[in-house]
Amino acid sequence: MIAIHVITLAIIISQSAAQSIAGFGSSGGSKSGTSIGDIDNPVLQAEAYVTDARIPNPHKTNDTRRLSGTRPPRLAKGNPDGSTCVPRSVLIDDLHGAKQEMMGFGMSWTDCTVENLNKLQPGSFHNAMKELFAPHPIGNDMGMMRHTIGSSDMSGRQYSFCDNGPSFNEGEPDLNLETFALGEDGEAMVNMIKIMGEYKGNVFLIGSPWSYPGWMKHNGLAVAQRLNTGTSYNNLNNSFDRQYTKQAVAYFTKYLDAYKACGVQVNAITLMNEPLNYQGGYPCMFLDAADAADILNAGLGAALQERNVSLLAYDHNTDQAAYPMRVIQRAPGFVHGAAWHCYAYLANYTVLEDFHEAFPNTPQFLTECSNYRPRAGALNWAVADAFMLPTQFGSSGSTMWVMATDANYGPHAPWGGCDACSGAIIVNSSTAYTKTSDYYMVGQFSRFVRRGARNYKVLRGIEGDISTNGQFGIVAINNPDKGWVIVFKNNMNRTETVRLSFTGSSHVWEGTIDNATVTTWLIPSDKVLETSGRNAPSSMHFPFFLDKNVTTNTTCPSPTTAAPTSTSTSTETPRLPVPNTTHSIPQNDLANQKPTSLPTCPCTVSH
């Protein structure tokens, strides 16, 4: 009895020391219900799903497996009878290895996503939204989404919510933000996000701007000129002008209130997408960590707290890890999480562990990673790496970049930015869309990991990293129903036989993970197994074994070969010159100017 109390106490201490997402809200909506892995929808028997990493040939049907049911793991004990090889031993520390709570996985709302989905006729639109947000087995059940505040490089038209001029690059200072309005594209986005709530009501929604209105910047331009065609060069004056700090505070609060008036609760914001990226050709802006903290201290931090909106610091690559620390230290009490991107080469996610050591109660998220021009026949691990690696090192959730495009990766800015970012859906016509490999890869995670689940430490079984030729990746997540979601990435050039055990649970599971795949195992909780062992319902059948003495007969798999990871050889799309880049704004002392009242939003929901 004493030993049981000690084990229980160890679990409580371990979980209390891990990052929590308690206090983060959801965007709201009319859709309620449960998903697989929730407390009232538990996993009752072992299941497995697989997606091939090879990008399918568009001219062939059934070319690859995509979220396909596959051989589930089976309860086992001892060495497999007749086996000619030793299985890969995987050990999960379910006693002391509790790490961060999970928010979920998803993608991003961009103007091109909204525009393309709005092209679909009502029936096709309904089907697309179900496949994106409905629970498994119908849809991807994405529980964490990001959206752009104003335009981005994935916008066919550039705008902010307060341009105050004939175009985005010809605005004059509007000190009271009297011309603030979401505009046609902004209203289209908030209406689309509101519709999302009809398909999934508990989404964690993050808003991020790519630039502030041009008149809030030193160069007076929302989109700066490209300094060298074909190369990314930063513009030193493409940066926030701190004399407009109070206007920046008002800009964010007006945006949040406008969304709320339209029935959408934004749950978190970042102050700038990629604040250390200030190149030209698409909306970008340098925002120093000190300026970010000053915006919070000047009133935005308090305004966010009043509106139950969290602040995620940074929103950029892992190679400048001091940035979120500087914001936290300069604006204490106003930062609720850190946001990272995947684009530093090679992305070093051990930074997340270092950050956790310094700020153990601050959740972290991977808020952007993009797949670029995937090539048919090649292996593509973009989604798997963006979701698995940050999770291993402390991220509570990940969002991929653009969710839907047309067949030409657009609409997107013609002057710069990403010209071939691929999404989960390609809209081909008003009645037809194609789900890409990214759709299925995202689903390997988002369909099965529930909000409030907890990631656990994997003590044994992981091999290699993105700098090595072969990798065997594992994440082990315990859902609210106490069942397990185990996701494997096998890039070892051979099928792997896996024996999965725990430091606490006595159950041992065994199965095979095919080469060049992402495979997700759903494993019932010990309570389900023990209850079923005493009184197994007739619906439970092979391969759901209730006897721990059951073994599997396994043979050593033969090595297989596969194409290398995709590297595009396509040439870059020709870039057009950015318009109206000669516009300038006189510098004035605006420190004592104060903005006025907040707007309301006209809301019209279609479809």
The CATH number linked to 132 is 3.20.20.80
Residues 107 and 387: their CA atoms lie apart, in Å, by 11
- Residue 34 belongs to a domain: no
Q: Are residues 415 and 539 in the same domain?
A: no
62 falls within a domain? yes
Residue 472 covered by a domain: yes
pLDDT value at position 537?
A: 36
The reported pLDDT for the residue numbered 230 is 56
pLDDT at 541 over 50: no
pLDDT confidence bin for 599, thresholds 50/70/90: low
At 57 the pLDDT is: 87
Residue 231 has pLDDT above 50, yes or no: yes
Residues 342 and 472 in one domain: no
| Boundary-marking domain end, from 446, 476, 499 | 446
Residue 360 lies in a domain: yes
pLDDT of residue 594: 53
Regarding whether 399 and 468 lie in a shared domain, the answer is: no
Q: pLDDT tens digits for 299-347?
A: 999 999 999 999 999 999 999 999 999 999 999 999 999 999 999 988 8
Query: Coil, strand, or helix at residue 195?
Result: helix
Domain end among 446, 480, 507: 446
| Domain count along the chain | 2
The domain of 504 spans 42-102+453-565
Residues 98 and 110 in one domain: no
* Active-site position among 131, 170, 274, 510: 274
Tokens of 132: 């994106």
Q: Do residue 149 and residue 173 come from a single domain?
A: yes
- The pLDDT score that the predictor gives to residue 10 is 44
Q: Are both 95 and 110 inside the same structural domain?
A: no
**6: exposed, middle or buried (C-beta count within 10 Å: 0-12, 13-18, 19+)?**
exposed
Tell me whether residue 185 is in a domain.
yes
508 in a structural domain: yes
Does some domain include residue 461? yes
pLDDT of residue 532: 76
Distance CA 238, CA 471 (A): 40
What pLDDT score does 573 carry? 59
Catalytic residue among 368, 463, 510, 530: 368
- Tens of pLDDT, residue by residue over 444-482, are 999 999 999 999 999 999 999 888 889 999 999 999 999
What is residue 569's predicted lDDT score, i.e. its pLDDT?
36
pLDDT digits (tens, 9 = 90+) for 202-211: 999 999 999 9
The C-alpha atoms of residue 252 and residue 204 are separated, in whole angstroms, by 18
Q: Does residue 117 share a domain with residue 263?
A: yes
List the CATH number of the domain containing 499. 2.60.40.1180
Q: d(Cα 231, Cα 255) in Å, to the nearest integer?
A: 33
The strand pair at 484-491 and 517-523 is best described as antiparallel
Q: Which of 20-29, 393-402, 507-516 has the lowest mean pLDDT?
A: 20-29
* pLDDT over threshold 70, residue 553: no
Looking at residue 587, its pLDDT comes to 63
Whether residue 368 lies in the annotated active site: yes
- Residue 5: the pLDDT is 44
Examine the domain organization and report whether 186 and 52 are in the same domain: no
Count CB atoms within 10 A of the CB of residue 242: 17
Give the separation between CA 466 and CA 445, rounded to whole angstroms.
Answer: 19
Residues 122 and 263 in one domain: yes
Predicted pLDDT at 9: 42
**Residue 262 and residue 353 in one domain:** yes
Neighbour tally for 459: CB within 10 Å: 17
> What are 145-177's pLDDT values in tens digits?
999 999 999 999 999 999 999 999 999 999 999
599 within domain boundaries: no
Residue 148 and residue 253 share a domain = yes
Give the pLDDT of residue 606.
60
Q: How confident is the model at residue 560 (pLDDT cuts 50, 70, 90)?
A: very low
- Residue 437 shares a structural domain with residue 491: no
- Using 50, 70 and 90 to split pLDDT, how confident is the model at 572? low
Q: State the average pLDDT for the chain.
A: 89
pLDDT of residue 60: 81
